Structure 1
C-alpha cells in the first residue's frame, strides 16, 4: 500500500479504543469505568460512539453484562496489538537519553593542537552533547554546511555573525632550542641568513613580517613550505628551521 494511502486511513478516537479494550477485557462496563477512572455512562458513551463510527456492533448487551460479537473479538486482537506497540514506542522514547549534537568547524592545526587537548574536559562537563568536529581551511557557511560554531583565526570583522573571542593570539618566530643554539639570532635582520619554513595557510607570511620590520628583501628562498601549520610546527621541532606561526598553537 502506498505511503500516502496508509497515512490517510481512518482512525477512531484513542479514548474510544481505550474504553473498548477495557470493556472487552473485563466484559463489564462498571469494571472498565473503575479502571479508566471515569463514570460508567462515559464508558457506555465511548462504546456507542465507536460502534456508530464503525457502523458495526462490537458488543452484545444483556442483563448479565456484555459479550463480544465476532467482529468485536477480531477488532480486540488487532487494536490490542496496536495499542501495545504504541505503548512500547512511547516508553522507549521517554526512556531514551536524548543527545544534542554540536557541530564545530576549525582549521586542522587548531583542531589538532589546541581543541583536541580540551575535549576531555568538555565531555566531562557536558556528557550529553555529541561533538562533531570538522577541520578544513575553507570559509564555511552555517546554513549551507550545517555547522553551529566556526572557529576562525583573524580580526573579528564578521558582522553577520555573533562573535566571541576565545583567545588573543600573536604570530611569533619559533625554532627548536637546539636549532637556536646552533643558529643564534640577535635581530630580525639575522633571519635572512637562516633556513625559513613557510606556512601557506597563515594570515601573515614572512614577506609581510619582514616588511613590518622595515627589512627590504626582494625575494625569500624557503628551505621548506607546507600548506598545513601543524607540519610547520613539527618541522621546527625537528630542528629544520624557523617558522612564523601562532603563539597560541605553540603552547
Structure 2
C-alpha cells in the first residue's frame, strides 16, 4: 500500500522534533544536532504546520510537550529506532537477510544456541539476531520477525509451527534427597518445592498423576527455568524441570531425578510469526530448519511434530 507523501515529514524535521522532545529543550537539541537554535525552532514550526497543531507549549524560555505531542514523540522515536536498526542490519548483511528472533531464555541457550551454527552454515547469507521474551507480544509493535512460544497454540494474528512436546521430571541435588528421606511421592510434601511463575500448577498436576494431593503447595517462585534449576542444584528445593533442558546436569550428577516419574506437559513449544510475513525468505528458511531439527529430536523419543495455521 502506497503511503501519501503529505503524511511523511522529512527526516530532518522528525530528528529535530525527537531531540527537542527528549531534552525538553531547543538549546540542547540544537547542540546534539549541531544546528543553531533558530534552525531547530524553524524545523519544529514546519512540522507543526504540516500536522496542523502545536506539539509544544511554549512558556518564556522553556518548552513542554502537549498531550498529543507526547504520544507523537513516542511513536516517532520508535519509528526512528526501527529505521536505524533496519539500516544497521542491512549494512551488516547486505547480500542476505536478517531474522530477528525472540527466544525463551533457557530454551534458547540450552537447545537452540548449540544447533544454530548448523542453520547458519546452511544459510550463509542470513544473520540471526536473538532477543529474550518471556511472554507473547504484539508483533506489530515489536521488531521480532518470529518467536519461540511455549503454551497453547494460540497467538492472535500469528501463524504457528509446532516444534516439540516436553516431559518434566522432579529434580534436586542428591543431598536434599537424602536429607528429607524421600522414598515415595508423598514424601515430597515435606520438602521445599520450587515453582515457576509461568506454570504455577505444575506440581499439583504431577501429584494428581502420581498418587494424589492432600494439601496446598507452597514454595519459592521463579520466572525462568535456568534460575529454578540452579536453585535445585544448590539444595534450595525440588523443581519440575524439562528433561531435555537438564541433560548435562543429570549426566554430571549436579541434579538427580527424585523419582522415575515423568509428566508430559499439556503445552508445547512452537515457532510463531506474524501472518503477513509468511513469505519472508529468512523466516521461511528458519521455519523449515527448526521444525526439522525438532522433529529429529522428537522422533528419538517417539513423538511427532507438525504445522498449525
Report the TM range for the smaller structure's normalisation. 0.5 to 0.7
Q: Is the aligned partner of 1:244 residue 2:251?
A: no
- Return the alpha-carbon distance in structure 2 between the equivalents of residues 141 and 243 of structure 1: 31
How far residue 112 of structure 1 moved from its aligned partner, in angstroms, is 2.4
- 1:169 corresponds to: 166
How far residue 246 of structure 1 moved from its aligned partner, in angstroms, is 1.9
Q: After superposing the two structures, state which structure 1 stretch, 189-198 or 150-159, moved more.
A: 150-159
Point out where structure 1 has 5 or more consecutive residues left out of the alignment.
Answer: 4-92
- 2:102 corresponds to: 105
Could you report, residue by residue, the CA deviation over 1:81-116 in whole angstroms, capped at 9, with x for unpaired residues?
Answer: xxxxxxxxxxxx9xx851311111122222222222
Q: Report the TM-score when normalising by structure 2.
A: 0.44
How far residue 240 of structure 1 moved from its aligned partner, in angstroms, is 2.5
Instruction: Map 1:170-189 to 2 at 5 A.
Output: 170-189=167-186
- Return the alpha-carbon distance in structure 1 between the equivalents of residues 230 and 239 of structure 2: 10
How far residue 135 of structure 1 moved from its aligned partner, in angstroms, is 0.9
Could you report, residue by residue, the CA deviation over 1:23-76 in whole angstroms, capped at 9, with x for unpaired residues?
Answer: xxxxxxxxxxxxxxxxxxxxxxxxxxxxxxxxxxxxxxxxxxxxxxxxxxxxxx
Contact 1:199 1:228 (8 Å CA) reproduced: yes
Alignment length (residue pairs): 158
RMSD of the alignment, in Å? 3.0
- 1:198 corresponds to: 195
Question: SS of 1:104's equivalent?
Answer: strand
Richer in strand (by share):
2
Q: Given the alignment, which residue of 116, 119, 144 partners 1:119? A: 116
- Return the alpha-carbon distance in structure 1 between the equivalents of residues 143 and 222 of structure 2: 29
Contact 1:123 1:129 (8 Å CA) reproduced: yes
- 1:233 corresponds to: 229
Which is bigger in relative contact order (C-alpha 8 A, separation at least 6)? 2
- Return the alpha-carbon distance in structure 1 between the equivalents of residues 130 and 154 of structure 2: 24
Contact 2:101 2:144 (8 Å CA) reproduced: yes
From the superposition, tell whether residues 169 and 192 of structure 1 become closer, same or farther in structure 2 (CA, over 3 Å): same
Point out where structure 2 has 5 or more consecutive residues left out of the alignment.
Answer: 1-9, 11-89, 248-309
Q: Report the TM-score when normalising by structure 1.
A: 0.53
How far residue 160 of structure 1 moved from its aligned partner, in angstroms, is 5.2
Contact 1:154 1:203 (8 Å CA) reproduced: no
- 1:79 corresponds to: none
For the pair shown, the structure with the greater C-alpha radius of gyration is 1
Q: Given the alignment, which residue of 136, 139, 142 partners 1:139? A: 136
From the superposition, tell whether residues 203 and 108 of structure 1 become closer, same or farther in structure 2 (CA, over 3 Å): farther
How far residue 144 of structure 1 moved from its aligned partner, in angstroms, is 2.6
- Return the alpha-carbon distance in structure 2 between the equivalents of residues 114 and 184 of structure 1: 33
Contact 2:136 2:155 (8 Å CA) reproduced: no
- Return the alpha-carbon distance in structure 1 between the equivalents of residues 164 and 214 of structure 2: 32
Instruction: Map 1:35-184 to 2 at 5 A.
Output: 97-158=94-155, 161-184=158-181
Contact 1:172 1:244 (8 Å CA) reproduced: yes
